[in-house]
Amino acid sequence: MPERWDQAGFRVRVDTFLAGFLAEEAGHLVAVDEALRPVAGQLRAAAAHGKRLRAAFCYWGWRAAGQPDNDALLRAAASMELVHAAAVVHDDLIDDSPLRHHAPTAHVALRAAVAGRPGARAAARSLAMLVGDHLMALAGQLLATSGLPAAYLARARPVWSELARELIAGECLEILSTGAPPDTDRSLKVVRYKTAKYTVEQPLLIGGLLAGAAPGLRAGLRAYGLPLGEAFQLRDDLLGLFGESGTTGKAGLDDIRGHRPTTLLARAWEAACPAQRAELAALLGRRDLDESDLHTVRQLLRELKAPGQVEELIAARVKEAVGSLGGLGMPAAAHRALTDLARTATDRPY
């Protein structure tokens, strides 16, 4: 029987390290000027939550190549969480989302720092943008100073560059597609580049490359990572609309108000008759929607069987991902952990 991975313990290790790392960085900011304290606070808050899935995938990419647990790798894996924190701050800013983890998002929280000044709202948004930029810079710094040998880091550098480029490309694609008629192919492309690749595939590959994974193993990690990352985001889209805000920590109508290009909405649109499309079109993009509108949208999407279709997409991708692990010759502990992570990432009830 392979060793049992302690997911909760791993999360505590990552949380503890990131809290110390960001507290030190926040201290450097406040040392520049006391006025930067609210910015420093948001730097720490942005990375204070999460399941630490991206760090876990990086860790198990390393372990899949036969390397043992060590603290330098943990620090490198934690850098994936700073990438995610940066992406979240920027995404909330772009979407003008008010809540994340039951708390005000960075651009909302920072309004207090500039309250009463001309252009306060724009100033708070600018501060949040800079918090996100700094988090991304810190992610690169943390990877480079993790303590892993320079030769190991050099192996992973091309995928790190790919991660940054494709994350930005995906965010741009979402902006360019927002407000357009829903389209499944377009929405799946946004899913792939905005979230799927940097959530699973690229952290896995970075961990594998740091460990010196052979080409066959790297191909297997890609074959596992991409469909699983897509399944993760498809689940997130379902939770965004059908999850309860008390559980998700986010506003349930964000995707409808923002007329975002989700696969859930695309499947509903493609299945709708003209009258149903007109009903849906009358709701998309409206900022004044309330709970009764949320009920209407949910009921309409259920009538069109869109949630069930997305569930089928998720199940097919999870099956593809887990099936790709066979025959890769990875240690049994890594195979088991990656199988468990596939469920952890996508089996989230709403």
User: What does pLDDT average to over the chain?
Assistant: 93
Higher pLDDT residue, 197 or 259? 197
Beta strand pairing call for 103-104 and 99-100? antiparallel
The burial class, CB within 10 Å (0-12 / 13-18 / 19+), for 340 is middle
Residue 247 has pLDDT above 70, yes or no: no
In terms of DSSP H, where are the helices of the chain?
A: 7-32, 37-46, 53-64, 71-95, 106-109, 120-144, 150-177, 184-191, 202-210, 215-242, 245-248, 254-257, 263-271, 274-281, 291-303, 306-323, 332-346
Q: Taking 90 as the threshold, does the pLDDT of residue 284 lie above it?
A: no
The pLDDT value recorded for residue 1 is 43
Residue 21's Cβ-side half-sphere holds a number of Cα atoms within 13 Å equal to: 24
218 or 284, higher pLDDT: 218
CA contacts within 13 A on the Cβ side of 318? 20
> What crossing angle do the helices spanning 291-303 and 215-242 adopt, rounded to 10°?
120
Task: Map tokens 């009920």 to a residue.
Answer: 295
Inform me whether the pLDDT recorded for 2 exceeds 80: no
The band of 255, judged by pLDDT with boundaries at 50, 70 and 90, is: confident
pLDDT of residue 27: 97
Per-residue pLDDT band at 350 (split at 50, 70, 90): low
Least confident of 141-155, 235-249, 333-347: 235-249
- Which residues, at least 6 apart from 131, have a Cβ–Cβ distance to it below 8 Å? 39, 42, 43, 46, 89, 106, 110
Q: What is the pLDDT of residues 4-24, one digit of tens each?
A: 789 999 999 999 999 999 999
What are φ and ψ of residue 175, in 5° steps? -60, -45
The radius of gyration of the chain from alpha carbons, rounded to an integer in Å, stands at: 21
Supply the CATH classification number for the domain 7-346. 1.10.600.10
Q: What is the C-alpha to C-alpha distance for residues 286 and 283, in angstroms, rounded to an integer?
A: 6
Q: Which region holds residue 348: left if phi is over 0, alpha if psi is between -120 and 50, else beta?
A: beta
Question: Cα separation of 77 and 13, whole Å?
Answer: 11
pLDDT of 71 reads 96
Tell me which residue of 86, 247, 282 sits closest to 238, measured CA to CA.
Answer: 247
DSSP summary character for residue 198: I
- Could you give the angle at which helices 202-210 and 150-177 cross, rounded to 10 degrees? 170
